[in-house]
Amino acid sequence: MSRFRFVCEHHESYGIKRLCQVLGVSRSGFYAWTTRGPSTHAQRDAELAAVVVEVHSRSRRTYGSPRVHAELGRLGHCTGRKRVARLMREHGLVGAHSRRRWRTGKANTAWAPDLVERDFNPARRDQLWAADVTQFRTDEGWLHLAGVIDLHSRRVVGWAMGTTPDADLVIDALVMAFERRRPDQRPIHHADRGAAYTSLAFGQQLERLGIAASFGSTGDAFDNAAVESTWSVLKRELAWIHGQHTWRSRDLLRSAIFDYIEGFYNTTRIKQRLGYRSPAQFEEQASA
C-alpha cells in the first residue's frame, strides 16, 4: 500500500496533517494524488460503499460496522473502521445486534495448545506473532490498546484502540496485522487466555485468515513477557516524551500512541537485541 493510500484510508481517524508528518509525505502531494483520475477519494468511497452494502446484505442485515469492517479485511479491503461506519450511516445501514453480542460465549481453547512453549525467537518474519491488551488512564476514562507484535523483529504490526477490551478490539488489531503483512506462510498467533482472545468471534477470525492459534498457560506471567515488555517501554517513553502519566482526553492519547508506534518505535527506535537497529531496519536487512 502506498503512503498516500494509507493517508486516504485512515485520515478520518488521525487527520491528514498528522499522517503526512508521520509518513514523511507532503500534504500538497497527497492532495495532488487524490485528484488524479480514477484514484480520487470520492471514487474510492463509491467503490468501497458498494462492497459494504454487499457485505451487509449477505449478513442478512445483521452486521454493524465492526463486523462489516472485519469482513472487508478478510476480503482484502484495507480501510479504517471509522470510514466504514461513515459509509454505513450515509447508506442507512444498521446492524441488528449491539457490540455486546460479540462478547457472549467463549470458544473451547482445548483445540489450541501452546505451540510456542516459551521459544520467543522465531527464525523469520511472520512466523510468530504475539498479542496482548494494555490500558491507559485518561480524565475521560480508560483507553485500551490491543497489539500484535512480530517476535522476529519486535515490530508492532497491528494495533487498535478503544474504550472496551473486547473481541472487536483484538479482531481489529489482528486484521490490521494481516492486511499489512500478508504472510506467505501460516503464522502462529500467541496470546493469553483472556476473554477477548478466547471468544468465539476471535477464534472464527483466526480461522478465516488462516492463522494458527496458540495460548499460553493460565496465570503464567512469562508467557506474554515479550509483549508486556513492549507495552512497558511504550508507557515509560510516552510519559517521558510528553511529560505526563495521565492524559486529559482519549483523543490526545490516541494521537500520541499512533505517533509513537508508527513514527518512532517501528521505524526509528533502536533495540539492543536487534543489533542496535530499529524493527524496520532489522527487517529490511534480514530480507536483503
pTM of the predicted model as reported, rounded to 2 decimal places: 0.63
Helix (H, G, I), strand (E, B) or coil at 271: strand
Q: Is the pLDDT of residue 153 over 60?
A: yes
AA identity, residue 129: W
Q: Write out 273-285 in H/E/C secondary structure.
A: HHCCECHHHHHHH
- The mean per-residue pLDDT over the stretch 172-179 comes to 94
Q: Is the pLDDT of residue 105 over 60?
A: no
Q: Is the pLDDT of residue 115 over 70?
A: no
H helix runs in the chain, sequence order? 3-14, 16-23, 27-34, 41-58, 65-74, 81-90, 167-181, 200-209, 225-242, 250-260, 279-286
DSSP letter for each residue of 137-193: EETTEEEEEEEEEETTTTEEEEEEEESS-SHHHHHHHHHHHHHHH--SS--EEEE--
Helix (H, G, I), strand (E, B) or coil at 80: coil
- Looking at residue 140, its pLDDT comes to 93
The ranges assigned to domains in the chain are: 3-99, 109-286
CATH architecture of 109-286: 2-Layer Sandwich (3.30)
Residue appearing with cell numbers 518512532: 264
Using DSSP bridges, classify how beta strands 188-191 and 212-215 pair: parallel, antiparallel or unpaired.
parallel
- The mean per-residue pLDDT over the stretch 14-38 comes to 80
226-257 pLDDT, tens digit each:
888 899 989 988 888 888 878 999 999 999 99
- Looking at residue 142, its pLDDT comes to 95
